[in-house]
Amino acid sequence: MSQPACTHLATIRDVEPRTDGCEECLKIGDDWVHLRLCLECGHVGCCDSSKNKHATKHFRAIHHPIITSLEPGEYWKYCYVDEVTWQ
């Protein structure tokens, strides 16, 4: 079975999370459901199941296309532009 193609792999960098939680939620004192890491700059944002959806807002504002989960035991990446998920 072939894997869906992401055309933005060149944007992936060796990044470290910039914060221990969602950057914007920490600033406003809010909470989140799951965390996502931007693989271009290290921004940590909350997932779309969280009310603030900061990971997607980061993509819309900055256009960094690929995120990964920061949840323990989850090993996947997602490209917002190509709308593909892979491990």
Whether 51 is covered by a domain: the verdict is: yes
DSSP 8-state code for residue 80: T
- Structural domain including 25 reads 9-86
pLDDT of residue 1: 45
pTM of structure: 0.94
pLDDT in tens, 18-74: 999 999 999 999 999 999 999 999 999 999 999 999 999 999 999 999 999 999 999
Closest CA to 36 of 65, 3, 7: 65
Whether 66 is covered by a domain: the verdict is: yes
Total count of domains within the chain: 1
| 3, pLDDT greater than 90 | no
Give the residue, 36 or 1, on which the prediction is more confident: 36
Cα(18)–Cα(22) distance, integer angstroms: 9
Residue 24, helix vs strand vs coil: helix
